[in-house]
Amino acid sequence: MMLQKIESALAALEPSVFEIEDESHMHSRGAQSHFKVVLVSDAFKDVRKVQRHQKVYAALGDLMQQFHGLALHTFSPDEWQTEQAIPDSPHCRGGSLHDK
C-alpha cells in the first residue's frame, strides 16, 4: 500500500512526529493518489521550506512518480513546540485531465 511505502521512505529523516493521511477521497484521481504528511525532524532545523521539501522528495525518490499529490507540513522540533497547527486541505475542485 502506498501509505506504508511513503512512511517507510520518510523514516530516513528520523521524524520525532510523523503523521500521514490518505486524502484521495477528496480528489478525482482515485485511490492512493493524494497524501498529507506532517513531519517534525531535526533534519529541518535551520533549513528553509524549499530545502525541507527537497529533502522529503529525495527520501521518497521514485515513489514520487507513483502518486499525484503530496501536501507537506514540515517543522523543526522547536517550531513544532510553538506551531502544531496544520491547515485543513481543500477539497478538489475538479478540472482533472481524467474527468470526463
**Cell numbers found for residue 93:** 475542485
Mean pLDDT across the chain: 83
Cα 68 to Cα 33, 36, 94, distances in angstroms:
5, 12, 14
pLDDT of residue 25: 61
Cell numbers describing residue 79:
517550531
Q: Three-state SS for 43?
A: helix
Q: Looking at residues 92-98, what average pLDDT do you find? A: 53
pLDDT at 89 over 90: no
% of residues, the chain, pLDDT over 90: 52
The predicted structure's pLDDT at residue 90: 65
How sure is the predictor about 69, in pLDDT bands with cuts at 50, 70 and 90? confident
Give the C-alpha separation, 57 to 63, whole Å: 9
pLDDT of residue 26: 62
Rounded to 5 degrees, what are φ and ψ at 53? -65, -40
- The answer to whether the pTM exceeds 0.85 is no
Say which CATH topology domain 2-81 has.
Answer: GMP Synthetase; Chain A, domain 3 (3.30.300)
> By the 8 A CB rule, do 70 and 37 touch?
yes
Q: What number is the average pLDDT over the span 28-55?
A: 87
Domain ranges of the chain: 2-81
